[in-house]
Amino acid sequence: MKSSLDAIFSALSDPTRRAILGRLAHGKATVAELADPFELSQPAISKHLKVLEQAGLIRSGREATSRPRELEPDALKKISDWIGDYRRFWDQSFDRLDGYLSKVQGYEDDKSGD
């Protein structure tokens, strides 16, 4: 489970994977159920699920012969926190900008937070 910002953002850049997450927001689902809405092969879906799992966005269970997936929201929280550093850019007036800039230190901050 990498769960780095690299892996998380990369996983989310694919619309199929975002759709899978959307489906999992409704609750646990099997691979077959997750594959159903798409015109993709089962192995393609399994690959997407692997990417999501390695990014820490979902987890696999085991129920008889199936391996149901469910959301693992920690990774989403991670990028939500990252975006939080920039939230003031659209949420608030630019007057207070200088006050918070010490929080956003670029490369090093980004790596340490990974």
The contact set with DNA (CB under 7 A) reads 10, 13-14, 16, 30-32, 39-44, 46-51, 60, 64-68
In the bound state with DNA, the residue whose beta carbon lies nearer, of 50 and 87, is 50
Asked whether position 76 contacts a copy of itself by CB under 8 A, the answer is: yes
Residue type, 107: Y
Q: d(Cα 44, Cα 40) in Å, to the nearest integer?
A: 6
HSE toward the beta carbon, residue 36, CA cutoff 13 A: 7
In the bound state with DNA, the residue whose beta carbon lies nearer, of 39 and 91, is 39
Residue 47 CA: distances (Å) to CA of 16, 24, 29, 52, 54: 11, 16, 16, 9, 11
Q: Shortest Cβ distance from residue 67 to a copy of itself (Å)? A: 20
In the bound state with a copy of itself, the residue whose beta carbon lies nearer, of 37 and 61, is 37
